[in-house]
């Protein structure tokens, strides 16, 4: 594939990095060696075997912001993060079906939550999703924003319930929590900067089509 413009794809560090790398390999978009040497290499921008196509590895929650502000033309990130930020500057043309999991509401086992309580205290790193979920049920929520270790919040008395992502449910079980309700299904999506789509339309559409052929 020939790319004439400089194109940057932002991908998240963490649990689905291997799945993304495998997908890129199947598209013949293979990163340079340093991309795989995290212990030795502190670089954040990497070449690939395709001229003018670069990768950058960033924190999961930074991917939409970097794409929205034009730091990268594309990004791969979970629908949970996309919905949390809801940037007008990006759109998501393809569900890549990677990193599938669920966003759930959970509580301590055997705890009884008062259904008539005027306000519910919930810990989550997804305050917008949490707020929207309870608003749609006509309930008020106080969301305690945590960036990690969400499962400990009910045990410490920080919150009555949590909203978090669940894959196997093992972490919930180990922390004596149970699912109250599934909020949504989550998977990773390809996102695109709208300005890049206008200024680099030929190359952007070429790459979108490449992903589509592999996924759809």
- Amino acid 114: pLDDT: 76
* Token pair in block for residue 50: 């395709």
pLDDT of the chain along its 216 residues, tens only?
A: 899 999 999 999 888 888 999 999 999 999 998 888 777 777 889 999 999 999 999 999 999 999 999 999 999 999 999 999 999 999 999 999 999 999 999 999 988 887 677 789 999 999 999 999 999 988 999 999 999 899 999 999 999 999 999 999 999 999 999 999 999 999 999 999 999 999 999 999 999 999 999 987
- Amino acid 163: pLDDT: 97
H or E, element range at 123 = strand 119-124
Closest CA to 51 of 37, 32, 67: 32
How would you classify residue 210: left for phi > 0, otherwise alpha for psi between -120 and 50, otherwise beta?
A: alpha
Domains of the chain in start order, with CATH, are 7-99+187-215 (3.40.190.10), 101-186 (3.40.190.10)
- Cβ-contact 50, 9 below 8 angstroms: no
- Amino acid 42: pLDDT: 77
Q: How far apart, in Å, are the Cα atoms of 16 and each of 29, 72, 98?
A: 17, 19, 7
Q: What pairs with residue 75 in β-bridges?
A: 10, 191
């Amino acid at each position: 594939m020939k790319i004439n413009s400089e194109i940057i794809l932002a991908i998240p560090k963490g649990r689905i990095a291997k799945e993304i790398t495998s997908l890129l390999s199947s598209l013949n978009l293979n990163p340079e060696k340093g991309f795989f040497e995290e212990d030795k290499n502190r670089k954040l921008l990497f070449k690939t075997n395709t001229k003018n196509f670069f990768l950058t590895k960033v924190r999961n929650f930074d991917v939409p912001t970097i794409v929205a502000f034009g730091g990268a033309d594309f990004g791969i990130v979970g629908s949970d993060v996309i919905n949390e930020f809801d940037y007008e500057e990006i759109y998501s043309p393809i569900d890549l079906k990677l990193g599938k999991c669920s966003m759930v509401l959970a509580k301590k086992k055997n705890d009884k939550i008062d259904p008539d309580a005027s306000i519910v205290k919930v810990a989550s790193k997804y305050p917008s999703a949490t707020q929207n979920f309870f608003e749609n049920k006509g309930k008020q929520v106080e969301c305690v924003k945590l960036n990690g270790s969400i499962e400990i919040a009910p045990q410490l008395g920080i919150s009555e319930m949590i909203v978090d992502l669940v894959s196997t449910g093992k972490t919930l079980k180990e922390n004596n929590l149970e699912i109250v309700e599934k909020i949504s299904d989550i998977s990773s999506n390809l996102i695109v900067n709208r300005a890049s789509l206008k200024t680099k339309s030929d190359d952007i559409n070429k790459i979108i089509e490449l992903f589509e052929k592999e996924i759809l």
